[in-house]
Structure 1
Amino acid sequence: MVRLVVKDFGPFGEAEVELKPLTVFIGRNSVGKSMLAYLIWALTLAIPRPTRLEKAIVDAGGNKALEAVIEKAKRGDDFKEELMELMNIAIYVLPKALAPSVEEALKKVFTFDLDELVREGANHATITLKGERTSIETTINGKNVDVSIKGPSIDEFISEIKTSQREVTISYDKSRFTISVPLTRTSRFSIIELLYTFVSVYIMLTLGGPFKHLIPLPLPVGLFPFLELFSALLPDSRAGISRTLLRPYIPIAITYPDKQYVELYYALAEWVAKESIDLAAVKPLLLEMGCSVEPVIEEGVYTIHIKTWSGKRLRLPQAPSGIREVLTVAIALSSRGPPHVVIIEEPEAHLHPRAQGALARLIAKAVNRGKHVVLTTHSDYMLYRLNDLIALSRSPERARALGFAEDEVLRPESVAAYLVKAEGDRAVVEKLDVGPEGFSEDEFASVAVELAEERARILSS
């Protein structure tokens, strides 16, 4: 279980959110739903860079331990004790190495100065991730970011280390998997790369929850610069971005979230071509949208063409708005690998209610296959459909009789739902109980009653 706790962040005085396999934020416009979703995405991207980790180790006096590991490794001697000392130093300096990465992620994701993330009238903001074994607290004070970490020691975390001239094998306590690191070149770079992989795994495994899913297995050293592919934000206005930006090598300045969306699209298009996407899972939604997909190489990269129900073949930027809006969402949810954390703003945008129902079933499939999904939504249809899928978990036989596959049903314990609303001069987050029939629909029901009452007044006049 991972909990996100914020204080004086954005419009929030204090809010706490538990991140479950499916986390849903509902509420009116401009109350902070997307801000929480973007924050979750930013935190999944905040992994320290190898150069920052090396500098922090050297600044802390770890250069001697680093050179000792390198020399012993070159001679073929066992360097387990020296490596343990070096890893202890790496964990000690981790907050210092992590702080600039958190700062960078927040700036890129929110696209404005850090002090604008602090609630009006407050001196500073805190963002805390409370994980299974580790707690990471980020403090934003003016334009500065400080990070503190409370987690297990090396002795508590590592169960075994074996070293040789060619390989380091580290077994991690409680995770039940082993990482083997080949030292093809025993150099300063290879040892720093090893430490970088180690601290990244330490953060993710001890936090747990969705962060654990950022670790691909088997785990090759040097992969972490590409972590942005393992956590994806599907921002609002996907249809507009698809129409204007999905052209190979388009020379235009765009915001980081939109840039990452474009890069994700090309990665997903390649995965479709290489059959890393479960297109059978996407097919019901595509049928509802009246289209099929075909990967095509254009200007040296994969892109996606659409064949509509009328037989017309189109590039995705030329497709109808609903298809442009939902296609990347559907492919990301149905990928057999990354992205493992999928964050979607308004998945219902431009979709007919029946299409929203098909998308809800695809979301359930993704959750049941191990992805973590975060949604912000204004749609009563999406909410009702998710609740239907939760209610069906009470009776698998009835679900099958109604045409629902086992992996299209949501277990209540896999879902967290929150109502985000304004109270006075701040936003608050209210946790909604998720039971056998789903979670509260009162927010949308009250709006429906208001509209019905207004219509009655109009018709009676």
Structure 2
Amino acid sequence: MDKLWTLHVENFGKIAEADVSISPLMCFVGDNNSGKSYLMSLLWGVLTLGKDIFPKMPSEAKTYKRCENWLRESLNKNRELTEEDLDMYVSWFNELLFNNKKNLLKRIFSYNVEAEKIEIKNYKRNNKIEIKWEDHAERYSVAQTYLKFPKQETYSREQLLRMNAYICWNILMYGIAEPLYTPVVKGRRMGEPVYLPASRTGFMLTYSQLIENSLQVSYAPTMEENTSILTLPYIDFLQLITKFETKNKLTKKNEAIVQFIEEYMTKGNVTTKKDIMPVIKYRPNGMTKEIPLYLASSIVTEISPLLLLFKSDINFKTLIIEEPEAHLHPELQQTMARLIINIVNSGIPVWLTTHSDTILQHVNNMLKLKKHPQCTELMSEYNYDKKDLLDSQDVSMYQFVHMKSNKSKLEKLECTKYGFVVPTFNNALDKIVREVYAFQED
């Protein structure tokens, strides 16, 4: 990831205060009903809906005027953005977040959820970024180290607003969210983050009925007419199912992930045929006949959305998974952890909520293996390769803990030489071990 920033919230639902710094692999762990899914939904919402908070007309607000004046001084001159320049654009985005907070939360949760504060803090970049101007260019363009605009003789305030929004969105979201200005292609996703919710088996077995009731919910700027009983990330997942389509040719990256899932997890092939609704079927290894998804085991129904996501070659920048361990035997939970790390190392950030000590232990094992002096020999012995390894700077771990006030707090867990120590997991396991010794007969 070429940039880092922290999402700060105060009095958001059950969460008293939280600071979450984005990273290639991010894990939320901790107590049930403590706000993990709420906060993950908010992150999804900022990445998915944040582009809609930019004003349609130039503003006289001080935060925006600073951006406009800076851009006027930079017109037709290549210029590197300083830390002060970057902070100026983050401040503008935070003001827009504050002004649109109520509507944004209602769109995400289909309900009037309260939050005292939502803002982005601690913005940092790994690479400098520069504004460039190009003769005869027809459109804006962006890369990891530059933002490029067509050179003109004069610029209206409306054009300056459009360019400022482009700068602001890309310094925050380039590489992890949908581009700000994209051609509208009906039925095609343009890079929005994918949210795979909990209870995936239930969704996959009833998607036809659920889609029929949910597809009328759009991404309109207001939610006054929305009567959905699902949050927007869940509705987006149902709409994602309608995009599933088995492609004959995949990128090498997607092909490797598909092969891994089918060989080590589903033990068979899951296909989609386009109809009014997608028709999803499963063919176990060694069999020629396909069976309906509802006759397949829970491992197949649980993993099928992830498998079909990569088989469909859908364009997305970030992957969010709730409870990836659901319905999985501990051995398959370890395999799932290995798959997640492979996806991260392919360049796609993965953010997850989990109650699985097995997944967390595998993460720790790969962190330790990466730094082990006999790494090469151990990789050969245990059948790992470089795409299975993790660097501690690419992982962040957050624990949600209930407080006496009926609120929850967020604690960032530090990576030790043993990996991440998760107190809520360890305390529960210690209690079970004590009971084992107490209850056994002499």
Q: Give the TM-score band, short-chain normalised.
A: 0.7 to 0.9
Structure 1, unpaired ranges of 5+: 63-79, 82-90, 119-124, 135-155
Q: Which has the higher helix share?
A: 1
Structure 1 residue 302: Cα displacement: 5.2
Structure 2, unpaired ranges of 5+: 65-74, 77-88, 215-227
Q: 1:59 to 1:16 in 2, by over 3 A?
A: closer
Report the equivalent of 1:365. 342
Q: 1:14 to 1:169 in 2, by over 3 A?
A: closer
SS of the residue corresponding to residue 123 of structure 2 reads coil
Structure 1 residue 222: Cα displacement: 3.4
SS of the residue corresponding to residue 46 of structure 1 reads helix
1:406 aligns with 2:386: yes
> 378, 389, 395: which one pairs with 1:415?
395
1:176 aligns with 2:183: no
1:31 aligns with 2:34: yes
> 259, 266, 272: which one pairs with 1:283?
259
Conservation of the 8 A alpha-carbon contact between 1:394 and 1:436:
no
Conservation of the 8 A alpha-carbon contact between 1:5 and 1:17:
yes
Structure 1 residue 260: Cα displacement: 0.8
Structure 1 residue 316: Cα displacement: 3.3
> With structure 2 as the length reference, what TM-score do the two structures score?
0.74
Conservation of the 8 A alpha-carbon contact between 1:232 and 1:339:
yes
Distance 1:4 1:224 in 2: 31
Conservation of the 8 A alpha-carbon contact between 2:196 and 2:322:
yes
Greater relative contact order structure (CA < 8 Å, 6+ sep): 2
The aligned runs of 1:74-85 (5 Å cut-off) are none
Q: 1:428 to 1:278 in 2, by over 3 A?
A: same
1:244 aligns with 2:206: yes
Conservation of the 8 A alpha-carbon contact between 1:248 and 1:301:
no
Distance 2:58 2:325 in 1: 45
Conservation of the 8 A alpha-carbon contact between 2:246 and 2:311:
no
CA RMSD of aligned residues (A): 4.1
- The amino acid that maps onto 1:403 is N
SS of the residue corresponding to residue 14 of structure 1 reads strand
Conservation of the 8 A alpha-carbon contact between 1:4 and 1:128:
yes
Structure 1 residue 414: Cα displacement: 0.7
1:45 aligns with 2:56: no
- The amino acid that maps onto 1:345 is E
SS of the residue corresponding to residue 244 of structure 1 reads helix
Conservation of the 8 A alpha-carbon contact between 1:266 and 1:302:
yes
Report the equivalent of 1:132. 123
- The amino acid that maps onto 1:448 is L
Distance 1:45 1:25 in 2: 20
Distance 1:290 1:168 in 2: 44
Distance 2:355 2:299 in 1: 16
Q: Deviations over 1:45-71 (max 9, x none)?
A: 123449x632455999x9xxxxxxxxx
Structure 1 residue 409: Cα displacement: 1.0
Distance 2:357 2:342 in 1: 20
Q: 1:306 to 1:446 in 2, by over 3 A?
A: same
Structure 1 residue 16: Cα displacement: 1.6
The aligned runs of 1:40-189 (5 Å cut-off) are 40-49=43-52, 53-56=55-58, 103-114=102-113, 117-118=114-115, 125-132=116-123, 159-162=131-134, 164=136, 167-168=138-139, 175-179=144-148
1:305 aligns with 2:281: yes
Q: 1:454 to 1:93 in 2, by over 3 A?
A: closer
Report the equivalent of 1:270. 245
> 257, 272, 277: which one pairs with 2:233?
257
Distance 2:169 2:102 in 1: 18
1:205 aligns with 2:170: yes
Q: 1:251 to 1:335 in 2, by over 3 A?
A: closer
> With structure 1 as the length reference, what TM-score do the two structures score?
0.72
SS of the residue corresponding to residue 50 of structure 2 reads coil
Q: Deviations over 1:218-266 (max 9, x none)?
A: x974369977752111111111011111579634565222221122233
Conservation of the 8 A alpha-carbon contact between 2:101 and 2:118:
no
1:235 aligns with 2:215: no
Structure 1 residue 291: Cα displacement: 3.2
Distance 2:100 2:291 in 1: 40
Conservation of the 8 A alpha-carbon contact between 1:412 and 1:434:
yes
Structure 1 residue 133: Cα displacement: 5.7
Distance 2:340 2:394 in 1: 12
